[in-house]
Amino acid sequence: MAKAVFTTKVVPGYKDLPESRYHFPRTYLNQVRQAVGDHIVYYEPRRSSIDLSSFGGRQSYFGVARVTGVIEDQQLPGHFYALIDDYLDFDQPVPFSQGEAYYESALRKADGSTNKGAFGRAVRIIPDTEFDLILKAGFAPVLTESPALQQDAAVGWSEPTTPYERPIVEMTVSRPFRERSFMHNVRAAYANRCAMTGLRLINGGGRPEVQAAHIQPVASKGPDSVRNGIALSGTVHWMFDRGLISIGDDYKILVAENHVPEDAVRLLNQSGTIHLPNNGAFHPNAQYLKFHRDRVFKG
């Protein structure tokens, strides 16, 4: 097993869904097979689509996941899917370099310039030490929320002076850690505003009251991804989880007839649609919305 970097674009040229599958050509089959059973980080390049003139990509690492297997694409010869589990968005994107320092040492030439040949490879094996540094940087906001984790959260380019009490990659698969990170990311994407009521309530301690709801429930294998999340106030979250309301592919709010009192309906946006994140990459994914309508919604 080996850890790796998987490159995927904002508008993928292949049939990617980072939370569940990564589509790739035979060129990278050996490297992807090495990663089966281990963890990978996703990297978003500068190009935002397969169009060579496109730009807008963050040039940053943006999430972590685990590779569970590889299957052949039955529709496109010479192509495969890496099967993905345990996906989690970073709490902040991590640029591939900061000044002269590179998270992946293989991307830096001896003269300090970028190794474009290595950078051009969509799948790259990465040492555990470099992988851990990327995770520490990506999850720093949530790690530093807890005093007990502050020592583990220090981001730097050298080895820590004391051993970790728990490896960072193990933290990312623990339920409490994932819940904190998911909440942080969904709240940030929706600017602490309920998507269905527009309310933005901050308590006396300065913390937002809005909650982070999974669209496809965790109990039904829904990922801890912002694309599978929506920011909701407490009452609306309760209604959403019980299938009293849902969301159409056009982001229209759906209400189960004869299940929701008129007083509750009046809480919802008068526009009839949800408020969306400013960043289109964080909009609810159609696959998860369909799951909620088909399996949870009582309409």
Tokens 């960043």 locate to 279
- Flag the least confident range among 54-58, 174-178, 186-190, 244-248: 54-58
Q: Does residue 29 share a domain with residue 163? A: yes
Q: Does residue 251 share a domain with residue 114? A: no
Q: Please give the Cα distance from 172 to 83 (Å, whole number).
A: 18
Taking only the tens place, the pLDDT of each residue in 131-183 is 999 999 999 999 887 644 444 333 333 444 444 445 788 888 899 999 999 99
156, 173, 190 - which closes a domain: 173
Number of domains the chain is built from: 2
pLDDT reading at 242 higher than 50: yes
Q: Does residue 272 share a domain with residue 184? A: yes
**22 backbone dihedrals φ, ψ, rounded to 5°:** -130, 120
Q: Does residue 127 share a domain with residue 12? A: yes
- Concatenating the DSSP letter of every residue in 104-147 gives SGGGB-TTSSB-HHHHT-SEEE--HHHHHHHHHHHTHHHHTTSG
Q: Does residue 249 share a domain with residue 126? A: no
173, 201, 220 - which closes a domain: 173
- Flag the least confident range among 122-131, 154-163, 204-213, 260-269: 154-163
Percent of the chain at pLDDT exceeding 70: 87
What pLDDT is attached to residue 203?
A: 80
Residue 200's Cα: distance from chain center in Å? 23
Q: Does residue 142 share a domain with residue 247? A: no
Q: Does residue 57 share a domain with residue 191? A: no
Averaged pLDDT for residues 254-262: 91
Q: Does residue 144 share a domain with residue 187? A: no
CATH number of domain containing 101: 3.10.590.10
Q: Does residue 213 share a domain with residue 158? A: no
- Concatenating the DSSP letter of every residue in the chain gives ---EEEE--SS-SS--BTTTEEEEEGGGHHHHHHHTTSEEEEEE-S-SSSSTT------EEEEEEEEEEEEE-SSSTTEEEEEEEEEEEEEEEEESEETTEESSGGGB-TTSSB-HHHHT-SEEE--HHHHHHHHHHHTHHHHTTSGGGHHHH---SS--SS--SS-HHHHTTSHHHHHHHHHHHHHHHTTT--TTT----B-TTS-B--EEEESS-GGGT--B-GGGEEEE-HHHHHHHHTTSEEE-TT-BEEE-TTTS-HHHHTTS-TTSB----SSGGGSPPHHHHHHHHHHT---
Range of 278's domain?
176-295
Q: Does residue 53 share a domain with residue 145? A: yes
